[in-house]
Structures are given as C-alpha cells and as structure tokens.
A and B are shown apart, each in its own frame.
Chain A
Amino acid sequence: MKLNTEFMRETFIASLGGVPKTFLITILTLLVSIPIAFSMALSKLENKNVSSKIVTGYVSLIRGTPIVLQILFIYSLLPSTLNYLIKDVFGLSYNIFKMNKIVYAIIVFSLNNIAVLTELFRSALGTVGHGQMEAAMTVGLSKRQAYARIIIPQALVAALPNLCNTVIGLIKNTSLAFLMAVQEITAISKMKAASGYYYIEAYLMIALIYIIVCTVVQLLFAVIEHQLSGYKKRLAV
C-alpha cells in the first residue's frame, strides 16, 4: 500500500478553492466582532454595573463550552427561528432556507469570537499603565481623546501577539463550518476523500493547506507588529 500521490495533488488543488471562503468567513467575522468586543471590554473596565455583569456571564458561557456545540446549537435553532419571525411575525415571503449558509457561519463565529476578543482586549487595555490615562487628563485631554490617542494605540500593540493567536484559532475553527454545509477547505477535501476512500491523503493535504494559510497570517502579523511598535524599540546604545 502506498499513498496515492496523484489523488493528493488533485485534492490539494481542489481544496485550495476553499481558501477564499475560509478567508472570507475569517475577515467578516473579525469585522463584526472586533468593534463589539472592544466596546464590551471598555464597558467592563469603565463601569461595574449590570451591563458589565452580563458581559462577564456571556464571556464565561461562550468560553466555557465547545465551539462545535455552539455551532450545532445555533445552526439547529437559528434557521427555523428566523423563518418563524419572517413568515409568521412579519408576514414576509422571503425563504430563509435559501439564504447563503455563510451567514450562519459568520454569526456563530462572531458570537464565539466576541467573547474571546473581549477578554483579549480587556487584558491588553490593562497592560497600559494607569499613569498614561492620568497624564492625558492632566494635559487636558477628554476621556474619549485619551482612549483614542494614547490608550488604544498602545493596547493594540500589546494585543497583537494574542490577536494573531486568536485569528489562527478562528481560521482553525472555520474548519468546522462544514457542519453548516459551508464549502470551505475541510468540506471540499472531505467530499473528495469520501469519493475515493483516500482519507489519509485528503487529510494530510488539508493539514498542509492550513499550515500554509497560518504561515501567511503570521507573516502578515509580523509585518503589522513591526510597523506599529516602533516606539517600543530602544536605540542601540
């Protein structure tokens, strides 16, 4: 018995076709979740009232349960709920079951990612010393200006390494989008594998594609970090 290299080559090329979809889900999820997570992290830091308790509970629930469970739960609940709302409550005739499945993927991954990013941003904001805010106040900046010009730029740099990990985690999680019938990398090669019973070959190729994708993402972050963290570097003495 030998690995079927011809099949591997074919699967690799076919699965590459799923890469844009993986990136699309990742990018849209980040666009949705980053601003929400940031404002949730700020609300947790700034006021200790009911809303921050709700945020804490939400973060704990999402971070305390497997993402596969969240996917299955929402995917079994959301379409029929939306259908009920559209048909019976609003009386519209839109067929929700025809909606692109990617929308569900983005909703699920956003719900999950918001919780992860809230924690991440909260700890990143915490790394910026309290003195920075005080100094900003004493030179006459408003709280909003202080956040926008002094605190957030520094927090962002502190958050970058963890943000990179989170994005890689998110990309890896998108491999579960096949559970929602989204045709991304894993879904395509799973189908290829089942068609010829060359499972091991197919999965090795998926692994390879993820390694390539993650490498690209890490290089990207390295470039961004280099650009943004100029102020942290000491001159050689």
Chain B
Amino acid sequence: MHPFHPEYIITALLKIVPYVGITLLMMLGTVIFGGLIGILLARAKIKRRIIPRAIAEGYIYLTRCIPSIVMLFIVYYGIPFLLLQFGIDVNHFSKGVFVITAFSILFASNLGEVFRAAYLAVDPGQREAAVCSGLSEFQAFYRIVLPQAAVHALPNFSNMLVNLMKEGALAYSIGLIDVMGEGSLLIGMNQGSFSLEIYLAMAIIYWTLTLVIELIFGRLEKSLSKGRKHATSVA
C-alpha cells in the first residue's frame, strides 16, 4: 500500500476546485435545454391529447431505461456520425456540447415529471377562480398557477439537480475536464500514487456542492411558502 498523505488532499482540492465552474456550467446548460424539452413533455402529458401524450410517455419510458454512460457514448459517437451524413463536421466541437446534449436528452424526462407534478399540485380551482375574475388563460397561468407550482417544484427540482451533478461526473469518460475530469487527470499525472487523496478531495467537493444545493433550495422553499402553511394546533 502507498503511504497515505492527508496533506495532499488540500493540494488536490486547490487544483480541482477551479473546475467546479465547468461542472456547474454543464448543469446549467442541461437544465436550460432539458427544461425546454421537459416543458413540452409535461404539456403533452397534461393535455391528454392521445398522440403527443403517447410520444411523451414513450420518450420518458425509453430514456428512463438507458444508463447515462451509454447515452453519453451514443451522443458522442452518434451525433457526429449523423451530421456527417449531411456534410456537417462536428468533430472539433467542444466536449461540453456533447455532454449537455446527452444529459438534456436524459434529464428532460426528470424535469418534465417535476414540472408536471408541480402543476398538478396546484388546485384547479385556482385557475378557475382566476379565469372567472377576468384574467386570460395565459395571465391565469403566469400570475396565479405558475408561482404556486414553482414552490411545489422546489424539493423535486433540488433532488433532480443533485442527481444531474452526480451523473454528470461521468462526462470525464468522453474527456470533459470538470471536477471529475481534472481529478482523473491528476491521478494519471501522479501515476496513481496519490489516488486515494485525490478521490477524497473530489468526494469533499461533490458532497459540499450537494449540501449547498439542498441548503439553497430548502431556504428558498421556506421563504416562498411563508404564510401558506396553516397554523397548527394541538387537539
């Protein structure tokens, strides 16, 4: 066994922390693009028109079954292959594009389900009351339903974000240099002699990020749902 050098954990932390930005950027991109698809999926499932609904259900079903690493490779090898048929060469594209594409495809389902559950959690009476008091459908959705749904969505969204971050660590396998990627590079550079220390440093970073995400969303939920909870009484 290699001797254990706890002080190297600090060295590794200092080297890896700058790459937290890449990890967060990857998450942001996925939430934006996956969120757009997710909205479509949620709409299709809520509206109950048969064909869009079946497509949405099928999409969610299939993406739920595919491991992230497999999806990453399908996108990484498949998209350049596909686009080359049309004479477009994307092999020089940043790795980040493929990562965000792959995770957007996968997490659109999760995001869609978060949106749908949040929308359905708002009492239909809210929309009815809004429409009856003269608001348009869009105004009713935007001003009455959406703010309430957002509060309902927070805990699930936070969960989804943590999952995305953890799955996102796999992006190193196609060569993205984020937290996991930089850590692996570091291990390679040291020829494996500080691997435990570096793994621990990465674990500290990911765990901290998770706790921060949970803290922020927990706070947000608390402050947004103020005054909505019923006063509790002892029987």
Interface pairs A-B: 9 shortest CB-CB: A64-B210, A66-B169, A214-B65, A172-B67, A175-B67, A199-B77, A73-B199, A64-B207, A66-B166
Per-position binary interface string of chain A over residues 67-84, scored 1 when its CB falls under 8 Å from any chain B CB and 0 otherwise:
111001100110011001
A/B interface sample: 23 pairs, CB < 8 A: A60-B210, A64-B162, A65-B206, A66-B168, A66-B206, A68-B169, A68-B172, A69-B199, A69-B203, A72-B195, A73-B203, A76-B199, A84-B1, A176-B67, A176-B170, A186-B70, A200-B77, A203-B74, A203-B77, A207-B71, A207-B74, A210-B70, A213-B65
Find the A residue at minimum CB distance from B213: A64
Complex Cα spacing A210 to B106, Å: 14
**From B74, B203, B211, contact of A200 by CB (8 A):** B74
Give the residues in chain A near B203, CB-CB below 8 Å. Answer: 61, 65, 69, 73
Which B residues are in CB contact (< 8 Å) with A175?
Answer: 67, 69-70
Q: Which residues of B contact A67 (CB under 8 A)?
A: 166
**Does B64 contact A73, Cβ atoms closer than 8 Å?**
no
| Cβ–Cβ < 8 Å partners of A76 in chain B | 192, 195-196, 199
- Scan A164-185; emit 1 where CB is below 8 A from any B CB, else 0: 0000100011011000000000
Cβ of A215 within 8 Å of any chain B Cβ, yes or no, is: yes
The CA-CA distance from A211 to B63 in the complex, in Å, is 9
B202 at interface, CB cutoff 8 A = yes
Q: Is B62 an interface residue (CB 8 A)?
A: yes
Q: B62 — which chain A residues lie within 8 A by C-beta?
A: 211
Task: State whether A207 touches B84 (Cβ < 8 A).
Answer: no
In chain B between 69 and 86, which residues have their CB closer than 8 angstroms to a CB of chain A? 69-71, 73-74, 77-78, 81, 84-85
Q: How long is the Cα–Cα vector from A201 to B192 in the complex, in angstroms?
A: 33
**Number of B interface residues in the complex (CB < 8 A):** 38
Interface residues on A, range: 20 to 34
Chain A, Cβ-Cβ closest to B211? A64
With the chains together, A203 CA to B102 CA distance in Å?
A: 13
The answer on a CB contact under 8 Å between A203 and B73 is: yes
Q: A210: which of B65, B202, B210 is its contact (CB, 8 Å)?
A: B65
Chain A residues whose CB sits within 8 angstroms of the CB of B162 once the complex forms: 63-64
Q: Is B66 an interface residue (CB 8 A)?
A: yes
Q: Quick one: given A67-B166, A69-B180, A80-B1, are A206 and B207 in contact (CB under 8 Å)?
A: no
CA distance A60 to B162 in the complex (A): 12
B101 at the interface (CB under 8 A from A): no
Query: Which A residue sits closest to B76, measured CB to CB?
Result: A199
Q: Are A200 and B78 in contact (CB under 8 A)?
A: yes
A190's nearest neighbour on chain B, judged by CB, is B73
CB contact list, B180-216 vs A, under 8 A? 180, 192, 195-196, 199-200, 202-203, 206-207, 209-211
Cα–Cα distance between A222 and B106 once the two chains are bound (Å): 24
Question: Residue A1 at the B interface, CB < 8 A?
Answer: yes
Q: Which residue of B lies closest to A197 (CB)?
A: B77
Let me know if B207 and A61 touch, CB within 8 A: yes
B68 contacts the other chain (CB 8 A): yes
Complex CA–CA separation, A200 to B71 (angstroms):
10
Contact A66 B167 (CB under 8 A): yes
Contact string against B for A residues 140-163, beta-carbon threshold 8 Å, 1 for contact and 0 otherwise: 000000000000000000000000
